[in-house]
Structure formats: C-alpha cells, structure tokens
A and B are shown apart, each in its own frame.
Chain A
Amino acid sequence: MPTGPDIRPHLPALRRYALALARDPDRAEDLVQEALLRALAGARTWRPGRAPLPWLLAILHNAHVSRGRRRALEAAAAGEAARFGPAAVAAPQPERVHLGQTVAALLRLPEEQRAALVLTAVEGLSYKDAAEVLGVPVGTLMSRLGRGREALRAATGREGPSPPERAPAGPALRVVG
C-alpha cells in the first residue's frame, strides 16, 4: 500500500473555509467535494513532501472563484447569512448567541476580507501560505486582514478605540482586565 499524506484530518479545515466562502452548509459541502474531485484530477500538481492543506485550500478557493460560480453563489446566499445568526444557534445561552453574532458579522464581510480572516485567524496559516492560497501578494493579504478585522470589531460593537488611536484610554482598559 502506498503511504501518502493524510487528507481526512484536514477535512474540518476545508469544510470551515468552504463554509466561510459559500455561507451555506449545503453549498459548502458541495464545494469541498468539488475541490477533492479537482485535487484527484490534478494530483500531479501536488509535490510529494509538500503540506497538503495549503494546496487543497488553494484548489478549493479556485473552485469557488472559477466558472463565474462566485457571483451566482453570492446572489443565492445573500439571504442565507441569517441562518448563522442567533436564531440558528442550538442552545440559546448568552455566549452562544454572542458567537453567532460574531460569525454573522464575519459572513457579511466582503469575501476577500472574510477569506483572509478565516485562513489566518481561524486556520492559523502563515501569511505566506494564506497569500498563496488566495493568489495575492503578502501585503495585499495583510491589508485585507487589517480591514476585515477592524470591520468585524466595528460590526460587533466591541469596545476599544478605532485604529487611529484617538479614543480615551481609560474605559478601554477595562477590556484588558
């Protein structure tokens, strides 16, 4: 039996990224399956010894972007972000509702910011790997990340001053403590 890289342990990361892109569980699953099919068909683009996750994430990303599917998905999924809002959260505990709001805010971000945030902040990819997945320079990735993170903070009404550091330090300190 050949010993290749493990793929199954990467499924959660692929499915999370697909969910962040497609914003709908069924479409996300379809996207993951299409990415795996594309990976099967393009197996020769994988170099033995290379980490499979960034390679797969890039395939998944391209699958999402290509064939004009992106626009169709955006339109179809526009109304679906609500499914991830508080109403869709199983237990109505305050913390869960809070999480749901954060994710709902994430899903309302422009796609490029959403993708940058999920790849780096959630999946923990290096800036270099994430930039490669998205096919952009590292500087572009970082600026999307910065804008996305600030937009998320503003959308969730988190305490803390805006990036140009002008708000008074006093009340903000309480968050730290």
Chain B
Amino acid sequence: MDERVAEHVTEAELHAYVDGQLDTAGRIEVEAHLQRHPEAAARVMAWLRLRDELRLFLADDEARPAPPATVGLARRLERRLGWRSLGLGLRRGLAAACLVGAGWLAHALLGGLLGAPLVGPTVAASPVPAFVDEAAEADHAARLELAAGHAPYPALMPLAAPRTGGLVPVPTLRGGLRLLGSDLVPWDGGAAVLALYDADGGRVVTLFAAEAETLGWSAPRASPGPGLATVFWRAGPFAYALSGDLPEADLLAIAREAAHG
C-alpha cells in the first residue's frame, strides 16, 4: 500500500466511500487508509451499519403496498411521458390544425414518429391569447388518450379537486353535455384543469379552465384557427376555452351561458 497517498484521505472521502461515490482507485485508497487507522475504520463501519439499517427498515415495501390511487397516477404519468417521448403534444397549435377527417390520429402518430412538423408555421400574429394554444394542446392530448382507449379519470377528480378545484371554478355546462372526467394539465400560469364532456353521438367537448397571470374580462368569442371549433373567454383571474366537434354557434351558446351562469 502506498502510505503517502493514503494519508490524504479526508472526512468527505470517507463519506463518499460509504455512499459508493468513489471509483475503484478511490476505494483502494480509502481502504488502505482504513487499514492503518482503526478509529476511522470503526466510524466507517458504524456508518455502513446505520445505512444498512435504514435501507432495511425503509425498504420494507411489502409492509405498505402503494394504494391504487397512487399506482393509477403513476400509470397515467407513464402514458403522458410516453406521448412526450413520441414528440406529440409539444407543438402548440397542432391540435387545432390536424384534427381534420377520420385519419387524424394516424396522421398525428406518423407525423410525430417521423419528427416532421404536421403544420406550417402559424399564420400571422393573431389576437388569440396564449392560453388558447395551451388549451388546444391539452385538448389534443386528451383526445389522443381517448382514441387510444383510455377512459378519462373521474377518479382523478377528488384528488385534483382540493388542488385546483378551489382555485379554478369549473362552470356547469348545459347543452346536453355529460361530464366524462377531468385532468390536471400543463399550464405555465398556475393551476389548470381540462374537463371532458360527451355530447351526443360520441362527440367530445373539452373545457380548459386555468388561472391566468393577469386580470381580464372578455365575452366568449371564436378562435379563428382551422380544425376543431374553439371559443374562449376570460372571467377576472380565470381563463376558459371550450373546444369540440360541435358547430361553432353551439359552442358559443354554451359558453355564453357558462360565462354568465
């Protein structure tokens, strides 16, 4: 053993040794040091033993299996990150542009896999606020989930409610819409919820409800983009966007009622 090298072993290196952070050369150096410094060796042994005890006790997972709600959320996150791995749900405005015709899902998946943008750059600068893009993205992701056979999660409601329900009021929608479920969705400005509704004949309507960064009021109006009809409005600190396979006039009527209701 090389005594000169071993003398340079520091307290930090001893900890790094216990935590498995050293390479082979580092471990050899520390072990040589420990051989000649029994008091240091005793301390390291005590640390190792404490570490193993903590691992044994905390790793007793059979004693407390994860409840179904936790596992369900983990499964959901796997799918969400899976979509992300495919590169879907990233391009803003994608949803509004590509949901044309029956082959939209195949198109979307193929386009995502090939890494090719499905739509050209957005037309000119529009007066449509940014949250409408976010809503379109959330709407798009939700439709992909539905198309892949994953039902929305009413079970998520009680979990999400205390965290967003109190922050973002979700209005009751009329017009024969039936709530399918809801989800927390990406939103830079704070909490956001996407509620999914079933209109007749398998048509799906989504309501994006978010905390906005600014105060603002505006009556429902239609987004000029192609694709799914979308109407949006502001109500003080909150922003809403309603999208779906319904005539724009119907969405506007539902939105107006919700905005005033």
A172-B184 CB under 8 A given contacts A7-B75, A37-B163: no
Q: Is B24 an interface residue (CB 8 A)?
A: no
A90 CB, min distance to chain B CBs, angstroms: 8
Q: How far is the CA of A44 from the CA of B192 in the complex (A)?
A: 14
A11-B74 CB under 8 A given contacts A37-B184, A161-B43, A175-B42: yes
Cβ-defined contact, B82 with A3, below 8 A: yes
**Chain B interface, number of residues (Cβ within 8 angstroms):** 63
Q: How far is the CA of A157 from the CA of B16 in the complex (A)?
A: 22
Please, which residues of chain A bring their CB within 8 A of the CB of B83? 2, 4
Q: How far is the CA of A158 from the CA of B49 in the complex (A)?
A: 10
Q: Is B180 an interface residue (CB 8 A)?
A: no
At the interface, is chain A mostly helix, strand, loop or mixed? Answer: helix
Q: Is B118 an interface residue (CB 8 A)?
A: no
Please, which residues of chain B bring their CB within 8 A of the CB of A165? 37, 39-40
9 more contacts with CB within 8 A, not counting A10-B74, A36-B77, are A3-B82, A19-B58, A36-B73, A43-B84, A121-B54, A122-B51, A145-B19, A168-B39, A169-B38
B residues contacting A by CB (< 8 A) are 11-12, 15-16, 18-21, 37-43, 45-47, 49-51, 53-59, 61, 63-64, 66-67, 69-71, 73-86, 88, 90, 148, 159-160, 163, 183-187, 191-192
Closest 5 pairs (CB-CB, A-B): A2-B82, A4-B82, A172-B42, A4-B81, A36-B73
A residues contacting B by CB (< 8 A) are 1-8, 10-12, 15-16, 19-20, 25, 29, 32-34, 36-37, 39-44, 46, 48, 52, 90, 98-100, 102-103, 106, 117-118, 120-122, 124, 126-127, 142, 145-146, 149, 152-153, 156, 158-161, 163, 165, 167-169, 172-173, 175-176
